[in-house]
C-alpha cells in the first residue's frame, strides 16, 4: 500500500540541523523543497529534528472577499501530566474542498504555532500546494 502524500517540513536553520544530526542524516535545504514537483511520500525531517520545539497549534483557511471561514482546526490542549511521546500525530492535516473553492478570487490562511525556549532567528516557512500537475508556492 503506497504512503499517503505528506506535507514537506523543513527545519528553520539548516546549519543547526547539520551540526546536531551528523553526517548520517539527510540534509534537506529550502532549495530542495522549492524544487519538488509533487508531494513527498514521507516527511523530510524527523520529529526529533525539531530542535526549536516549533509546535503548530492552529490552522485556518478563509475566503478573503466574504470573510467566511472555509476550514479551521486547532490542536487540543495537552495534559501537562501526560508522558512525552514522539510521533507524527498532528503533523498532517487533510482538507477537501468542493470545486467552488477554485472559483474564489482570494483566500487567506492563518497558521498559529508556539516555539520552545530556544530563539528562532531568520525563520523561513515554505508551504507547497499541489493540485493535479501544478504547484503553487506560498511565500511568508
What global pTM score does this model have? 0.62
Q: Which three cell numbers stand for residue 24?
A: 548520517
Q: How far apart are CA 29 and CA 125, in angstroms?
A: 12
pLDDT for the residue numbered 126: 85
pLDDT for the residue numbered 7: 38
Strands (E), the chain: 55-63, 69-74, 107-114, 126-131, 134-139
Over residues 33-46, mean pLDDT: 82
Backbone φ and ψ of 109, nearest 5°: -130, 140
For residue range 74-125, what is the model confidence (pLDDT) as tens digits?
A: 887 777 677 665 566 667 777 788 889 989 999 999 999 999 999 999 888 8
23: left (phi over 0), alpha (psi -120 to 50) or beta: alpha
Amino acid at each position: 500500500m503506497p504512503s499517503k502524500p505528506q506535507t514537506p517540513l523543513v527545519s528553520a536553520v539548516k546549519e543547526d540541523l547539520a551540526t546536531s544530526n551528523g553526517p548520517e542524516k539527510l540534509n534537506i535545504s529550502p532549495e530542495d523543497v522549492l524544487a519538488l514537483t509533487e508531494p513527498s511520500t514521507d516527511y523530510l525531517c524527523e520529529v526529533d529534528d525539531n530542535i526549536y520545539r516549533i509546535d503548530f497549534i492552529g490552522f485556518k483557511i478563509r475566503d478573503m472577499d466574504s470573510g467566511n471561514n472555509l476550514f479551521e482546526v486547532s490542536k487540543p490542549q495537552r495534559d501537562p501530566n501526560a508522558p512525552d511521546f514522539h510521533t507524527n500525530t498532528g503533523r498532517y492535516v487533510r482538507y477537501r474542498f468542493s470545486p467552488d473553492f477554485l472559483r474564489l478570487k482570494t483566500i487567506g490562511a492563518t497558521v498559529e504555532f508556539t516555539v520552545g525556549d530556544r530563539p528562532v532567528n531568520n525563520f523561513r516557512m515554505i508551504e507547497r500546494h499541489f493540485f493535479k500537475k501544478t504547484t503553487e508556492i506560498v511565500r511568508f
